[in-house]
Amino acid sequence: MPLIGERFPQMEVKTTRGIIKLPDDYSGKWFILFSHPADFTPVCTTEFVAFQKRYEQFKNLNCELIGLSIDQVFAHLKWEEWIKEKLDVEIQFPIIADNTGSISARLGMLHKQAEGTQTVRAVFIVDPKGIIRAILYYPLELGRNIDEILRMIKALQIADKGYAIPANWPNNEIIGDNVIVPPANTVDMIKKRREQEKAGEIKCLDWWLCYTKVPS
């Protein structure tokens, strides 16, 4: 299976929105590929509704969503109809029909815990250059926290500006909604950090733990 920091593997996939070439068709955009065990299942239905209700927030971050399961495309389409009819939510992002299981196997979505041909709840976060930036796995019985996935996109985009993101950001117990400045790794850098602190550019608990406001 691909790893964090590697390029997302080239593949052509059949979806509810037609054929998509990954990652090329999303060049210049972030995208989240997430698998679910099966259509017409309770937890998966709650997840799809939660993703859709936050879809505009993802798009505002230049991020697209792509679902996947080992179901045929007509099952995806019928499930989308059911969600619209019963829950008044229209799924607007594509769902991959991996009925052969080849894509799931290639991406490591078929775990021992998953029975038969069901995929686990995997999440791949891919950046605009097609590089995998994060991978999450949830067991079948545990629905994902979609707000956490949204937080990860926001955090990774800030990290690309040269910062590190503290635990529970933006509600960190030590530095609140600030982000971490890379720690000094030379004598000159220690001096620079202290100068930056005196100038009010950053705040430090020590030279190795400095922080600042989220850059605009």
- Supply the residues annotated as catalytic: 44
Q: Does the N-terminal peptide bond of residue 170 adopt cis geometry, omega within 30 degrees of 0? A: yes
Nearest to 46 by CA among 94, 83, 90: 83
Whole-number Cα distances in Å, 24 to 8, 68, 159: 10, 18, 23
Strand partners, 87: none
The single-letter DSSP state of residue 214 is P
Q: Helix or strand or coil: residue 171?
A: coil
Q: Using CB atoms within 10 A of its CB, is residue 111 exposed (0-12), middle (13-18) or buried (19+)? A: middle
Q: Which pairs with CB-CB distance under 8 Å and at least 24 residues apart come from 155-158?
A: 156/30, 156/125, 156/127, 157/30, 157/61, 158/214, 158/215
Tokens read off for 116 = 């038969």
- The backbone region for 23, taken as left when phi is positive above 0, alpha when psi lies in -120 to 50, beta otherwise, is alpha
